[in-house]
Amino acid sequence: MIQSLFVFVYLGIVVYIGIFAFRKSKGSEGAEGYFLAGRSLGTVVFILSLFGTNMTAFAILGSSGHAFTFGIVTYGLMASSSAIIIPLSLFFIGTRLWALGKRHGFMTPVQMFRDRWECSHIGTVIFFVQSALLVPYIVIGVMGGGTALSAISAGRIPYWFGGAIVALVVMSYVFFGGMRGTAWVNTLQTTMFLLFGAVAFVVIGIGMGGFDATIESLKSSPATAAMLTRERISPAYFFSYMFIPLSSIAFPHIAIFCLTARRVKQFKKTVVLYPLCMIVLWLPCVFLGVVANRASDVPLIQEKIEARAHLAAEGPRLASEERAALNAKATGDDVLLFLLERYAPLWLAGLLGAGIMAAVMASDSQILALSTMFTEDFFAFYGGKARLGERVQVQTGRIFVIVVTVIAYALALRAPESIFSLAVQYAFSGYAALAPLLVAALFWKGSTRWGALASTLWTALSVAAVAVFQYAVPAPPGPPVVVWSVGGIEILSRTAGGTAVLGFMPVVPMTIISALLMVAVSLMTAKPGKETIARYFSKAMRRE
């Protein structure tokens, strides 16, 4: 429990930061102050908190767990393409969002969509779809917190209780501090988990006898040699992951965060620093996930390896309940924590455990984003703010924070999939498919509200279809199971990691068809008025 004490001290610090932010504003800030920190975040806080809010439990626990199963290819799947696509999207799309928000007072993407396409109830449809797709990402944070606290305490804190503690802490500082408190906490968290990656890399490497010897051991074993190649991921699946980073700028919490910058120049520094932060965080986590396969002196990791081998050998002949139990045991989301417990001194493992908690608690921005969207895109839009005032609007936002946190916690207790799989299959794929809305609204004069509606409905239906399909067809323990083929061509398959469409992840057809629907339907429907087009595409707007 010594390691756990370090974590609880850290949790107390972040709660205090939220309360301090509340006291600084004296509890009297308006909606823009609570939800956007008055659009006044400085350069350091903006850059660190923007990166931190994008790096949740998915980045540390999810990446190391995926690398534990699939190998070093995990870095190529996510970190390499993300390090290029995300900074560029922030620079080209985020800066335009910032300019529009400053000029027209937008606080959410849906507000911009409603104004840009002269729509009302269609904007409400977009709000509900975006909200539903953000929930899995919030659930990931609660799952990560429960997993981390349980592993750090050697099981003395059960998963359900650890998740509850993290949910309560996040809810507290978001409730009190709003965007200002969330940004300050994210700045602290980002600093901690960036340092954590480098220190953990060195400490565990020394404890395992040096990485050279560990890698040679991996290479020499037929069971683990494939971990150092791309062998376990098909070319089509590898290509599919290039679509995942498109989701970043489409996430409401990232788009809303873009509106908090004090000056547009802050985005330029983000383009340079973001890829460097990706390397510092992802490379150690992925690498440690891979070398965990040679941690022969860590019994809990060996149990996972044995469960994985048993699934591969006997999976098709096992009962569904036994197969599900083995899948849960083989999941590697907690291997990084077990490595720390084994190879780091107690005091250092406690500090590094706090660093892990810093990453897994980054669901705060998603919770605040949902609260912002609800109060602005629903409560205020349908007259609540006009009737009851801005103070009630902020209070409503705080109540919504509690509601969302409780729902996310309840779902986290029943989530059957790993952190990595849950994020990629639903949250990332859905928002990548919604990215054409943002691009069309900002850069294409001919886009219409009906094109946006078609794209939104397609995204909602396709994500729901993937969820239903994966529930109806259990994950195979071995090679993919072909569900539908035409003329020898595999159209639809169920894989251990999710679903494949023509060999690609669902995000590929989802995003391509979403973009085609936006274009096709917009070409056939009436365009917004000339005044609206002028406000978004005038020379003055382009200069801003």
Contact 112, 441 (CB under 8 A): yes
Q: What is the mean pLDDT of residues 151-158?
A: 80
Contact 228, 71 (CB under 8 A): yes
Nearest to 499 by CA among 530, 526, 528, 467: 467
- 457-471: per-residue pLDDT in tens? 999 999 999 888 888
Enumerate residues 6+ apart whose C-beta is below 8 A from 301. Answer: 292, 293, 295, 335, 338, 339
Residue 435 has pLDDT above 90, yes or no: yes
Q: How far apart are CA 326 and CA 318, in angstroms?
A: 10
Lowest mean pLDDT among 34-38, 221-225, 317-321: 317-321
Q: Would you say how long the chain is, in residues?
A: 544
Highest mean pLDDT out of 173-177, 317-321, 415-419, 538-542: 173-177
Domain boundaries, the chain: 2-25+32-425
104-134 burial, b for 16+ CB within 10 Å, e for fewer?
eebbbbbbbbbbbbbbeebbbbbbebbbebb
- 395-433: per-residue pLDDT in tens? 898 898 888 888 888 888 876 555 555 555 778 889 999
Residue 27 has pLDDT above 60, yes or no: no
Highest mean pLDDT out of 87-91, 279-283, 363-367: 87-91
Q: Is 383 exposed, middle or buried (0-12, 13-18, 19+ CB in 10 A)?
A: exposed
SS3 sequence of 171-186: HHHHHHHHHHHHHHHH
Contact 167, 138 (CB under 8 A): no
User: Integer distance in angstroms from the first to the last C-alpha of the chain?
Assistant: 54
Q: How far apart are CA 82 and CA 88, in angstroms?
A: 10
Q: How far apart are CA 268 and CA 288, in angstroms?
A: 32
- 265-320: per-residue pLDDT in tens? 889 888 888 888 888 888 888 999 999 998 888 998 999 998 888 877 776 777 77
Residue 415: per-residue pLDDT:
64
Q: How far apart are CA 456 and CA 465, in angstroms?
A: 14
Among positive and negative, which fits the CA dihedral 157, 159, 162, 168? negative
Place of tokens 């919490």: 253
Residue 540: per-residue pLDDT:
55
Q: Secondary structure of the chain: what % helix, strand, coil (to 5)?
A: 80, 5, 20
Is CATH 3.30.2320.80 what the domain over 2-25+32-425 is classified as, yes or no? no
Residue 362: per-residue pLDDT:
66
Amino acid at 314: E
Average pLDDT along the chain: 85
Residue 541 has pLDDT above 70, yes or no: no
Q: Where are the alpha helices (DSSP H) in 261-363?
A: 265-291, 299-314, 320-330, 335-343, 346-360
Give the number of other CB atoms < 10 A from CB of residue 49: 27
Nearest to 106 by CA among 253, 248, 256: 256
Across the strands, what pairs with 499? 494
Q: How far apart are CA 150 and CA 470, in angstroms?
A: 28
Q: In what order do the strands lie in the sheet with 489-495?
A: 481-486, 489-495, 498-501
Contact 128, 456 (CB under 8 A): no
Across the strands, what pairs with 493? 482, 500
Q: How far is CA 523 from CA 20, 78, 119, in A?
A: 52, 34, 17
Higher pLDDT, 29 or 442: 442
Q: Where are the alpha helices (DSSP H) in 208-298?
A: 211-220, 235-240, 247-250, 252-258, 265-291
Lowest mean pLDDT among 103-107, 183-187, 235-239, 350-354: 350-354
Residue 528: per-residue pLDDT:
93
Enumerate residues 6+ apart whose C-beta is below 8 A from 295. Answer: 208, 301, 302, 335, 338, 339, 342
This prediction's pTM: 0.86
Helix (H) or strand (E) holding 48: helix 43-54
Residue 32 has pLDDT above 70, yes or no: yes
Q: How far apart are CA 339 and CA 343, in angstroms?
A: 6
Among positive and negative, which fits the CA dihedral 273, 278, 284, 285? positive
Residue 269: per-residue pLDDT:
85
